Structures are given as C-alpha cells and as structure tokens.
C-alpha cells in the first residue's frame, strides 16, 4: 500500500491556515464592464471623444459643428473648433471614464468625477438637449447670464443669437 504522510497536529493547522490566508489575499480581477470605457481621451469635436480606438459622443449636449462660423469678440471665428478646444482642455492629461447611456451616447467624467458635458455647458461651448438633466439647464442659464463664450457670440452675419440657434436644434 501507499505511504501516508503523518504530521503533528500543529503543523497541519499551520499549513491549512497558510493556504487559507494565501487564498484570501489573492485578488481576483473584476470583470470589465462592457458599458464602461476608461483611459485617456482626445477631443474630436466639441462633444465627441476618441478613446481606445472608439469615438464616444457625450450625452445631453449640442455643440456647434466643426467649421460653424460665428462672431466672437468682434472677429469671425470657427466656433466649432473652439468648442473642440474647450473639450480638449477638460480631458488633457486626465483619465476619463465613459459610461454608455444609449446606443450612441455616453456620460463621461474625469477620474475625480467632473462631468465633461456639464463642463462644456458651464464654459459656454454647449447647450443641453431637451431631455438633459435639470442641473444642465441650470448651468446653461448661468452661462447665458454671464455671457460665456457662445452666449456672447453672434451669427456669422453679425445677428445676435448664435447659442440660441443651437437651442433650436434640440
């Protein structure tokens, strides 16, 4: 017959305790959430980020399209490009986490929880959609009252209301 290993009771308990402690200290990585994208980001335009080879659209905001002309501070400008630069300022050197909300849109925040869409509204580079959360509308009203960026811009022909025209697209 085979030989059996005989251990003193104290040694057996030590071995079992060591095995249990080792197993308890091993961390099993959490399964990746397919609806969450995390990493560094590059602004493609005022509401689209490029992350991990994908393009993610910020939910609940409308921004001027690239090439959209407006008069800002008395000069004809590409307000779509300025909106992209505004988003760039929010994501540069930051870790971004985007959670999928719909088939096409994402709620994206910095690692410390700053909402990028809300940041664009606050800066005056975006307006909220009709179905945006109430605090987005509150932030837009604040940006409008303080005439931040697009709220101080006129249309390319000089007529006032560039940001208000974006509201018409909601």
Give 4-51 pLDDT, tens digit per residue. Answer: 445 445 554 444 444 444 444 444 455 678 899 999 999 999 999 999
Tell me whether residue 144 is exposed, middle or buried, using C-beta atoms within 10 angstroms of its C-beta: 0 to 12, 13 to 18, 19 or more: middle
Is 157 within the bounds of a domain?
Answer: yes
Domain membership of residue 127 as a residue range: 36-167
The answer to whether position 116 is within a domain reads yes
Of 141, 116, 113, residue with least CA distance to 127: 141
Residues 9 and 74 sit within 8 Å (Cβ to Cβ): no
pTM of the entire structure?
0.80
> 9 lies in a domain?
no
Residue 105 included in any domain: yes
Q: Evaluate whether residue 14 is within a structural domain.
A: no
Q: Give domain status of residue 111, yes or no.
A: yes
Beta strands at 54-58 and 105-110: parallel, antiparallel or unpaired = parallel
- Please give the tally of structural domains in the chain: 1
Residue 21 resides in a domain? no
Query: Which pLDDT tens digit goes with each residue over 45-96?
Result: 999 999 999 999 999 999 999 999 999 989 999 999 999 999 999 999 999 9
86 belongs to a structural domain = yes
Q: What is the CATH number of the domain that holds 112?
A: 2.40.50.90
Percentages (nearest 5) of helix, strand, coil residues in the chain:
35, 25, 40
């Amino acid at each position: 017959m085979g030989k059996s290993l005989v251990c003193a009771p104290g040694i057996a308990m030590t071995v079992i305790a060591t095995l249990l402690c080792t197993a308890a200290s091993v961390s099993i990585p959490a399964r990746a959430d397919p609806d969450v994208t995390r990493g560094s980001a590059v602004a493609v335009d005022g509401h689209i980020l490029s992350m991990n080879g994908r393009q993610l659209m910020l939910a609940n905001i409308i921004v001027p399209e690239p090439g959209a002309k407006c008069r800002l501070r008395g000069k004809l400008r590409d307000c779509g490009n300025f909106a992209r630069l505004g988003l760039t300022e929010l994501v540069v050197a930051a870790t971004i986490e985007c959670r999928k909300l719909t088939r096409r849109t994402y709620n994206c925040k910095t690692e410390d929880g700053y909402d990028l869409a809300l940041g664009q509204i606050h800066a005056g580079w975006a307006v909220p959609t009709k179905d945006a959360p109430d605090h987005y509308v509150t932030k837009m009203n604040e940006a409008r009252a303080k005439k931040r960026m697009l709220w101080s811009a006129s249309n390319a022909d000089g007529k006032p209301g560039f940001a208000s025209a974006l509201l018409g697209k909601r």
